[in-house]
Amino acid sequence: MSTDVTDKSPAAAPPGKSGGSATGGGLLQLILDGLRRNMRQYGMLIALGLLVILFQVWTGGDLLLPRNVSNLVLQNSYILILAIGMMLVIIAGHIDLSVGSVTAFVGAFAAVLTVQHDVAWPVALVLCLAVGAVAGAVQGFLIAYLGIPSFIVTLAGMLLFRGLTEILLAGQTLGPFPDGLQKMGNGFLPAVGPNTNYHNITLLLGFALLAFVVLQEVRDRKRQQEFSLDVVPLNLFLLKLVAIAAAVLTVTMLLASYKGAPIILIILGVLVVGYGYIMRNAVFGRHIYAIGGNLPAAKLSGVKDKKVTFLVFLNMGVLAALAGLVVAARLNAASPKAGLSFELEAIASSFIGGASMSGGVGTVLGAIIGGLVLGVLNNGMNLLSVGTDWQQVIKGLALLIAVGFDVWNKRKSGS
Amino acid sequence: MAGPVLEMRSIVKTFPGVKALSDVTLTVRQGEVHAICGENGAGKSTLMKVLSGVHPHGSYEGDILFEGEVVRFKDIRASEQHGIVIIHQELALSPYLSLAENIFLGNEHAKSGFIDWRETLRHATELLRRVGLDDHPETRVADIGVGKQQLVEIAKALSKKVKLLILDEPTAALNDEDSSKLLDLILELKKQGITSIIISHKLNEIRKVADSVTIIRDGHSIETLDVKSAETTEDRIISGMVGRDLDHRFPERTPHEPEKDAAPALEIRDWTVHHPIDQQRKVVDDVSIQVRRGEIVGIAGLMGAGRTELAMSVFGRSYGRYAGGTVLKDGKEIRTRTVAEAIEHGIAYVTEDRKHYGLNLIDTINRNISLTALNKVAKRGVVDEHEERQVSEGYRKSMNIKAPTVFEPVGKLSGGNQQKVVLSKWIFAGPEVLILDEPTRGIDVGAKFEIYTVIDQLAAQGKAVVFISSELPELLGMCDRIYTMAAGRLTGEFPRAEATQEVLMRQMTKDKEVSR
């Protein structure tokens, strides 16, 4: 996950770094220009950074303890998974209120399969994802092909799947899950190799990731030059690489000095990179932006809007199912009350991360940043033993401030 | 002549980074109709916003004198209290409220907070009659046409005891019939002593209603001309607007010699379309047209003639209910039941309404250009961003789209530049037949010429072009052949040599009464 966050954050590098770079000159100016141009993109990232620093100070350094960073990932993984799917839905100009209930339903389904019927966990996993896909597909069909507003369809879905969950579990909590499934929510990568005081595989993965990202960046730059397009000046480019390296290494070392990378982090990382790539570079992703930005224009451009909408909801169903499995695995039980108000957290994450009510705007990275803002708030306030009452108040304010800032910033930049 | 009712002296208005008005002086005499014209982005609308208090006092420099006194409006309400009412280009009526409710919106006849319906209806009926509407005041706004809605706006202005009426491109969305009604009303109001300022692109309108015209260019007031004087010709006004003499409003064009043998690139036969809601009504009635490669064929018609409906229904059945007809390309019948099919067969439709149907305004230039033909810059479903950028940079330069980079959101561009993006988008799709629907609507004279040139080049490359327009001079200047439509039917076909404005207009207004 850290890959993508840092991948596009050259400007978020601490100012101290610029001294280490090759040339000075107009470098600071370049950074400032870049910042100004991408205010929306970097604004939230900077806010997240400030939030981390703030809580790091308040908690006396507890926030960034390796064990807590690990926890932070585990606690927020399912919201982040949902936020990715939700971001797609919101970009397409829709909303999905049913994801919390689908999450609970799939968790219950998994429990019934593995606990009551002793189905092997890999089979159960596939079946659960399929159930999520069906749930998403049915809702997507109603929205895309029958034209029922998504708010209504998914509100109905929210009630329906919550009810089905209770029916399936007969109001009881069901557990425990087989080991394999538990690992998905709680597990870490296995420890192998010589004792280095660090988690070896995590270290290796971190280095591999770093090499991959740097290589990609260099290749990308070459491609741009091939097409004789303007490229970022070399010193800024180098600075960006240094910033990426610093961030990747920091997170790697933090995780490696505890139990290693959580398995869910790897899953999440793959999702973020994959979906980020799809939304930016795949024809499918472009079509999502097109229908959300201006539906009639997209139709007249030959975009198959119904199919795209349908697939977006189907995808949301699959991701909700995945989140459901992770939640159930983490609690090691399926509960009728699982996933309550998850849809709202996912929606809040998307809006904090720069989505627009009217659709057409937003990035997967933004959803993750938004989710992390909420996650850090949760975690930090827990460490400071703030009550859940005040936590709610503060999270509500955070959403308002984030979106308010966005609106203000947009108005200022010209209307 | 009477003295000035309004004087705006050396108005300067700056937005962050842009000087919208550098030095504008405007003097409007009591009881006249004063036209303001200038290219898009010249500052006309900004000037009117300054006048009406949208940009409050203090946000601009210079003085406004109304009826001899210096006025300082802090908002629209303040200007309305002085009797200055502005009617914006986009109408500001609430569609599901009645005419009467709309007329008195924000200004209700009420007793201690409750609406006095009797007085409301009485007064509304009176005002509607004054603007020449005999619709019942309880009719919903959504149920009357755009032309009538414009009149309701004026009735609303009258209810505010208007002394100075400002109309921002009032006829942009109206057909000729409604336009002329509206213009007559302005003249009628003039007799009643109401002064009007009318912002317009249409020079013939200005000639018809205005007493004087002030030309604004690049934030400066250039000159004020007396419209009634013989020297004030259309060319005179145009040269003032663009700051150069305009000998050629259209590119030189050698008319196309049709090759009689080859099958037409596109042929539409016996095409009939019903209205999407009122399914008894034929919006397009048994129309057959054809266009050959290298040819520019015009379709002339007033609003409601069925031109756009014909084009959109052929282009992937995007309008109405199909009720018969075939499409042939190079003599072979093709299926165009979805937009994707139409595009595949090399047809492009450039919409008349670029903001709603043509562009994703919040997205960038490059992504708008690539959207219809993403696969051209993609491999296995993955877009090559660098190639995409290179392609759109190419169009930015060749089409002269005025933007620093292709990463600029399209919504920030002026109308003319937006139109160039739409054209680039469809040219990039690589069509053989282009249907251009009002390609120069609402854009300034300079950009128009550029777009004409592009259309001319497309035809020279052997593409077949269908050019839909309600501006007859533009059809006469550009087309090899012109069809006329009226009330859904084809009413005539003229080669360039035989077509004149009068001949075309006669066919465009033909059958109108009969078919009603």
Residues 6 or more apart in contact with residue A2 via CB below 8 angstroms: A247, A248, A251, A252, A269
C-alpha span between B34 and B231 (Å, rounded)? 17
B149 closest CA partner among B182, B114, B117 = B182
φ, ψ dihedrals at B383, nearest 5°: -75, 130
Q: Tell if the CB–CB gap between A294 and B316 is shorter than 8 Å.
A: no
Please state, for a pLDDT cut of 70, what percent of chain B lies above it.
Answer: 93
Task: For residue B195, give the H/E element and its range.
Answer: strand B195-199
A352 in Cβ contact with A135 (< 8 Å):
no
Q: How many CB pairs under 8 A join A and B?
A: 90
Q: Dihedral sign for Cα A98, A103, A106, A112, please.
A: negative
Chain A partners of B360 at a C-beta cutoff of 8 Å?
289-290, 293-294, 297-298, 360
The pLDDT value recorded for residue A6 is 35
- The alpha carbon of residue A229 is apart from the nearest alpha carbon of chain B, in Å, by 7
Residues in chain A, overall count: 415
Asked if the C-beta of A415 comes within 8 angstroms of chain B's C-beta atoms, the answer is: no
Q: Tell if the CB–CB gap between A300 and B382 is shorter than 8 Å.
A: no
B507 closest CA partner among B300, B289, B307 = B300
DSSP class of residue B357 equals I
Asked if the C-beta of A275 comes within 8 angstroms of chain B's C-beta atoms, the answer is: no
Q: Tell if the CB–CB gap between B374 and A286 is shorter than 8 Å.
A: yes
Domains of chain B by start residue, with CATH: 4-242 (3.40.50.300), 263-346+431-516 (3.40.50.300), 357-430 (no CATH)
Average pLDDT for residues B172-201, to the nearest whole number?
Answer: 86
Q: Dihedral sign for Cα B126, B127, B131, B136, please.
A: negative
Name the range with the highest mean pLDDT among A197-201, B52-56, B247-251. Answer: B52-56
The pLDDT value recorded for residue B513 is 41
φ, ψ dihedrals at B206, nearest 5°: -60, -45
Average pLDDT for residues B422-427, to the nearest whole number?
Answer: 95
Asked if the C-beta of A302 comes within 8 angstroms of chain B's C-beta atoms, the answer is: yes
Residues 6 or more apart in contact with residue B152 via CB below 8 angstroms: B93, B99, B102, B103, B128, B131, B133, B141, B144
Residue A227: which of B315, B371, B387 has the nearest Cβ? Answer: B387
Asked if the C-beta of B412 comes within 8 angstroms of chain A's C-beta atoms, the answer is: yes
Asked if the C-beta of A42 comes within 8 angstroms of chain B's C-beta atoms, the answer is: no
At position B376, the amino acid (one-letter code) is K
Query: Which chain B residue is nearest to residue A219, measuring alpha carbons?
Result: B386
φ, ψ dihedrals at B443, nearest 5°: -120, 160
B58 in Cβ contact with B2 (< 8 Å):
no
Residue B12, token pair as written in the block: 């300067």
Asked if the C-beta of A216 comes within 8 angstroms of chain B's C-beta atoms, the answer is: no
Q: Provide the b/e sequence for B329-338 (b: ≥16 CB within 10 Å).
A: beeeebebeb
Q: Tell if the CB–CB gap between B16 and A414 is shorter than 8 Å.
A: yes
Burial group, residue B132, by CB count within 10 angstroms (0-12, 13-18, 19+): middle
Residues 6 or more apart in contact with residue B135 via CB below 8 angstroms: B99, B128, B144, B148
ipTM surpasses cut 0.85: no
The pLDDT value recorded for residue B408 is 87
Q: Tell if the CB–CB gap between B363 and A290 is shorter than 8 Å.
A: yes
C-alpha span between A53 and A55 (Å, rounded)? 6
Question: Using one digit for the tens of pLDDT, what is the confidence trace for B101-130?
Answer: 999 988 888 888 888 999 999 999 999 999
Q: What is the DSSP string of B411-442?
A: GGS-HHHHHHHHHHHHHHT--SEEEEESTTTT
Asked if the C-beta of B362 comes within 8 angstroms of chain A's C-beta atoms, the answer is: yes
Least confident of A401-415, B98-112, B153-167, B302-316: A401-415
Chain B partners of A216 at a C-beta cutoff of 8 Å?
none
C-alpha span between B101 and B138 (Å, rounded)? 8
φ, ψ dihedrals at B484, nearest 5°: -115, 145
Asked if the C-beta of A273 comes within 8 angstroms of chain B's C-beta atoms, the answer is: no
Q: Tell if the CB–CB gap between A414 and B412 is shorter than 8 Å.
A: yes
Q: Tell if the CB–CB gap between B360 and A223 is shorter than 8 Å.
A: no
Q: Dihedral sign for Cα B482, B485, B489, B494, please.
A: negative
Q: Tell if the CB–CB gap between A299 and B318 is shorter than 8 Å.
A: yes
The pLDDT value recorded for residue A12 is 36
The pLDDT value recorded for residue B514 is 39
What SS3 class is residue B351?
coil
Domain A41-187+262-407 in this protein, CATH class: mainly alpha
Residue B381: which of A227, A284, A297 has the nearest Cβ? Answer: A284
Instruction: Count CB atoms within 10 A of the CB of residue B464.
Output: 26
Q: Tell if the CB–CB gap between B316 and A227 is shorter than 8 Å.
A: no
Cα B376 from chain centre: 32
Chain A partners of B384 at a C-beta cutoff of 8 Å?
281
What SS3 class is residue B445?
helix
What SS3 class is residue B160?
coil
Q: Tell if the CB–CB gap between A301 and B372 is shorter than 8 Å.
A: yes
- The alpha carbon of residue B353 is apart from the nearest alpha carbon of chain A, in Å, by 10
B123 in Cβ contact with B155 (< 8 Å):
no
B64 in Cβ contact with B70 (< 8 Å):
yes
- The alpha carbon of residue A45 is apart from the nearest alpha carbon of chain B, in Å, by 21
Q: What is the 3-state secondary structure (H, E, C) of chain A?
A: CHHHHHHCCHHHCCHHHHHHCCCCCCHHHHHHHHHHHCHHHHHHHHHHHHHHHHHHHHCCCCCCCHHHHHHHHHHHHHHHHHHHHHHHHHHCCCCCCCHHHHHHHHHHHHHHHHHHCCCCHHHHHHHHHHHHHHHHHHHHHHHHCCCCCHHHHHHHHHHHHHHHHHHHHCCCCECCCCHHHHHHHHCECCCCCCCCCCCHHHHHHHHHHHHHHHHHHHHHHHHHHHCCCCCCCHHHHHHHHHHHHHHHHHHHHHHHCCCCCEHHHHHHHHHHHHHHHHHHHEHHHHHHHHHHHCHHHHHHCCCCHHHHHHHHHHHHHHHHHHHHHHHHHHHCCECCCCCCCHHHHHHHHHHHCCCCCCCCCCCHHHHHHHHHHHHHHHHHHHHCCCCHHHHHHHHHHHHHHHHHHHHHHHHHCCC
Query: Which chain B residue is nearest to residue A286, measuring alpha carbons?
Result: B371
A128 closest CA partner among A184, A73, A89, A189 = A184
DSSP class of residue B254 equals P
Q: Tell if the CB–CB gap between B363 and A360 is shorter than 8 Å.
A: yes
- The alpha carbon of residue B41 is apart from the nearest alpha carbon of chain A, in Å, by 15
Distances (CA, A) of A23 to A33, A190, A235, A388: 17, 43, 6, 50
Burial group, residue A50, by CB count within 10 angstroms (0-12, 13-18, 19+): exposed
Cα A186 from chain centre: 18
Residues 228-267 on A with a CB inside 8 Å of B are: 228-229
C-alpha span between A120 and B15 (Å, rounded)? 66
Residue B433 scores a pLDDT above 80: yes
Q: Tell if the CB–CB gap between B371 and A298 is shorter than 8 Å.
A: yes
Average pLDDT for residues B18-24, to the nearest whole number?
Answer: 82
Q: At B515, is the pLDDT very low, low, confident or very high (cuts 50, 70, 90)?
A: very low
Q: Tell if the CB–CB gap between A227 and B389 is shorter than 8 Å.
A: yes
Q: Tell if the CB–CB gap between B393 and A223 is shorter than 8 Å.
A: no
How big is the CA angle at A306 (ends A303 and A310), to the nearest 5 degrees?
A: 125
- The alpha carbon of residue B308 is apart from the nearest alpha carbon of chain A, in Å, by 13
Helix, strand, coil distribution of chain B in percent, nearest 5: 35, 25, 40
C-alpha span between A75 and A124 (Å, rounded)? 23
Residue A295, token pair as written in the block: 């539906």
Q: Tell if the CB–CB gap between B367 and A289 is shorter than 8 Å.
A: yes
Asked if the C-beta of A226 comes within 8 angstroms of chain B's C-beta atoms, the answer is: yes
Domain ranges of chain A: 41-187+262-407
Residue B359: which of A227, A297, A361 has the nearest Cβ? Answer: A297
Chain A partners of B381 at a C-beta cutoff of 8 Å?
282-284
Give chain B's end-to-end CA distance (angstroms, integer).
Answer: 45
Residue B386: which of A223, A282, A287 has the nearest Cβ? Answer: A223
Q: Tell if the CB–CB gap between B390 and A282 is shorter than 8 Å.
A: no
Asked if the C-beta of A223 comes within 8 angstroms of chain B's C-beta atoms, the answer is: yes
* Residue B167, strand partner residues: B87, B198
Asked if the C-beta of A361 comes within 8 angstroms of chain B's C-beta atoms, the answer is: yes
Q: Tell if the CB–CB gap between B382 and A283 is shorter than 8 Å.
A: yes
A370 in Cβ contact with A349 (< 8 Å):
yes
Q: What is the 3-state secondary structure (H, E, C) of A285-353?
A: HHHHHHHHHCHHHHHHCCCCHHHHHHHHHHHHHHHHHHHHHHHHHHHCCECCCCCCCHHHHHHHHHHHC
B474 in Cβ contact with B496 (< 8 Å):
no
B417 closest CA partner among B49, B467, B241, B409 = B409
Q: At B516, is the pLDDT very low, low, confident or very high (cuts 50, 70, 90)?
A: very low
Query: Which chain A residue is nearest to residue B384, measuring alpha carbons?
Result: A281
C-alpha span between B75 and A72 (Å, rounded)? 51
Query: Which chain B residue is nearest to residue A280, measuring alpha carbons?
Result: B383
* Residue B347, strand partner residues: B433
What SS3 class is residue B338?
coil
Walk along chain A (415 residues) and give the pLDDT tens digit of each residue.
Answer: 333 333 333 333 333 333 333 344 566 776 676 666 666 667 788 888 899 999 999 999 888 888 888 888 888 999 999 999 999 999 999 999 999 999 999 999 999 999 999 999 999 999 999 999 999 999 999 999 999 999 999 999 999 999 999 999 998 999 899 888 888 888 888 877 777 778 888 888 889 989 988 998 888 888 888 877 777 778 888 888 898 888 888 888 888 888 888 889 889 999 999 999 999 889 999 999 999 999 999 999 999 999 999 999 999 999 999 999 999 999 999 999 998 999 999 999 999 998 988 899 999 999 999 999 999 999 999 999 999 899 999 989 988 988 888 788 777 654 4
Residue B349, token pair as written in the block: 């439709």
Chain A partners of B356 at a C-beta cutoff of 8 Å?
294, 296-297
B419 in Cβ contact with B354 (< 8 Å):
yes
Q: Tell if the CB–CB gap between A300 and B318 is shorter than 8 Å.
A: yes
C-alpha span between B354 and B361 (Å, rounded)? 9
Q: Tell if the CB–CB gap between B316 and A297 is shorter than 8 Å.
A: no
Q: What is the CA radius of gyration of chain A?
A: 22
C-alpha span between B283 and B163 (Å, rounded)? 41
How big is the CA angle at A213 (ends A210 and A217), to the nearest 5 degrees?
A: 140
Residue A332, token pair as written in the block: 């090691």
